[in-house]
Amino acid sequence: MFANAKLIEGFQILLDDGEAHGTIVDLAPDLGTGLGPSSLELCVMSHAGCYVTILALVAKKMHLVLKGANVKVEAVKSDETGTVSEETFDISIKTDATQDRVERLHKLTIETCPVGILFERAGVKISYKLNVTKE
């Protein structure tokens, strides 16, 4: 893995992986232009994306058919630490699998999501609300 960060203007920063992927981070309009998420917001977004990616990978390994997955994450930034201290995941999964299999899928996803592991090791309190619907 590799990352580059280049100041464009003000607080706009171009991020890329040295290959084909890039994005812009910025600060909110009170300081920046709001052109992109802040770096901290991007971390929270990455955690949500990682959860869904690992969920899909684990489901494939379990031969569990996912018909849809949606994750919303609410993060709390602590004034004391100046960074994320809590996250609440609201997870919606659409599948015909049994509740036991979905709970196992969720457990394995949490255990193997690399971004989640970083957040946990950083002491972020993470809670999960799992909603399963059948088609």
Tell me the domain boundaries of the chain: 1-36, 39-133
Pick the CATH number of 39-133 from 3.40.50.1240, 3.75.10.10, 3.40.50.880, 3.30.300.20: 3.30.300.20
pLDDT in tens, the chain (135 residues): 999 999 999 999 999 999 999 999 999 999 999 999 999 999 999 999 999 999 999 999 999 999 999 999 999 999 999 999 999 999 999 999 999 999 999 999 999 999 999 999 999 999 999 999 997
The model carries a pTM of 0.94
Q: Which residues contact 64 (CB under 8 A, 6 or more apart)?
A: 95, 97, 101, 102, 105
